[in-house]
Amino acid sequence: MRNVSADTIIMIRRCVEEYFDDYTRSPSVREISNMTGISKSTVQRYIEIMERVGIITRTDDGIETPYITKTERNMVSVAKLGRIPCGPLDEKEEYIEGYVKLPESFVGKGKFFILTASGDSMIEAGIDDGDMIIIKQQETARKGDIVVALAGGQSTLKRYMPDPSIKKIRLHPENSSMEDIIVDNCQVQGVAIKVIKSL
C-alpha cells in the first residue's frame, strides 16, 4: 500500500481499543481525530484501508478490532471503597478510592462495591489482610453468608450466624483463635461474593 504509514495504523487501532476499554463503545472518526491529532479525512482514509485489509471490521456498533470482538461488552462499574476490619468491630472508611469495571458474567447482576480486607479474622475462609473483596450490596443475608455487618455505627466482615436460641446474632470470625462477636441486631450492608488476591 503506497503512502500508508504502519505507525499511523497502529496509533488508530490502539486509540480505538483504549477508547473501547474506557467507554465500552468504539470512537467516532471525530473522536479518533481529536485523540490522535490526525485529520478527520486521514482517519477516514485509514479506516477504509484497515477495513479492506482485515485489520478492523465495521458493524452497526462501530469499529471493531479482533481485541474488541473478543471483549465482553456488558461491564459493571464497581466502586472501590476503603478497608473493612476483619477483626473487632471498627469504623469503616467509606470514601471512594476509584472505580473498577468488571464483566457482568463475573459478578452477576446487581449493585456491587469493593473493600480491602484488614486483619486476620477471616483467614480460614481464604480472606487475608490486603485482599480485595467484591461485595454485593443488599440488606438481607442467609445464615452462613460472609457479610459486611454494621452494628452500633461500626462495621466488620464476618460470617452471619443468627442464633434464635438466644435471640441474638453471632458474627463469626473464620479464625479458630477468635471468639464470635454477639450483637442484639445488625444491619447487613452487603454479602461477599468473590475475593481478589494479589500475586
| C-beta separation of 81 from 97 below 8 A | yes
**pLDDT tens digits for range 42-58:** 999 999 999 999 999 98
- Of 158, 178, 177, 193, give the one whose Cα is nearest residue 169: 158
Name the active-site residue from 33, 92, 155, 158: 158
User: How confident is the model at residue 92, as a pLDDT?
Assistant: 46
| C-beta separation of 147 from 173 below 8 A | no
**pLDDT tens digits for range 153-162:** 788 899 999 9
Name the active-site residue from 92, 121, 136, 155: 121
DSSP state of 142: -
Q: Say how far apart CA 150 and CA 193 lie, in whole Å.
A: 18
Q: How far is CA 24 from the centre of its chain?
A: 14
Q: Is 40 a catalytic residue?
A: no
**pLDDT tens digits for range 118-133:** 889 999 999 999 899 9
Q: Say how far apart CA 27 and CA 64 lie, in whole Å.
A: 10
- 34-38, 69-73, 114-118, 123-127: which has the minimum mean pLDDT? 69-73
Q: Is 39 a catalytic residue?
A: no
- 4-13, 76-85, 88-97, 124-133: which has the minimum mean pLDDT? 88-97
Collapse the DSSP code of 199 into the 3-class scheme (helix H, G, I; strand E, B; otherwise coil) and give the result.
coil
User: How confident is the model at residue 191, as a pLDDT?
Assistant: 96
Domains in the chain with CATH codes: 6-70 (1.10.10.10), 75-196 (2.10.109.10)
The mean pLDDT value for 97-110 works out to: 81
